[in-house]
Amino acid sequence: MRREGCDENNAQMTDFLCDFCGGTWTEDLPMVEGHKGSLICGACLREAYRRVVVLGENSADEGYACALCLLTKPEAAWRSPATGSTACRWCINRSATMLAKDPDSRWTKPEA
């Protein structure tokens, strides 16, 4: 998400916030963008991937709407304890694949 009141025509890195923890985009904290400017940071993505993809957990409320693709899906998802935003399994997988491919992110998929 964008910081409230930020200048859309002159957005700085500090204007980009993770929807799942409120963290700011930095060189050390890569972000993946979803629809409508939604963002998930590398730290939240690591936790989401570990829980949903590696461990097969589901912490989402029934009938949730994914903050990244904006869809309501029947599949497992991760609900952030910090902000209550939810990421579906599909978006977690897609974001993890994108971030792992980006050499600058130095991000790798968590193992079991």
Under rule CB under 5 A, residue 30 binds Zn ion: no
Q: Where do the DSSP E strands lie in 25-109?
A: 31-33, 39-41, 77-79, 86-88
Strand pairing class (31-33; 39-41)? antiparallel
Of 107, 40, 112, residue with least CA distance to 80: 40
Under rule CB under 5 A, residue 48 binds Zn ion: no
Residue from 16, 23, 31, 78 binding Zn ion (CB under 5 A):
23
Tell me the closest approach of the beta carbon of residue 3 to Zn ion, in angstroms: 14
Residue from 65, 69, 76, 98 binding Zn ion (CB under 5 A):
69
Closest to Zn ion by CB, 10 vs 85, is 85
Contacts of 104 (CB under 8 A, 6+ apart): 30
Under rule CB under 5 A, residue 44 binds Zn ion: yes
Q: Applying CB under 5 A, which part among 9-17, 46-54, 56-64, 89-97 lies near Zn ion?
A: 89-97
Q: 108: buried, middle or exposed (CB in 10 Å: 19+, 13-18, 0-12)? A: exposed
Binding site for Zn ion (CB under 5 A): 18, 20-21, 23, 41, 44, 66, 68-69, 88, 91
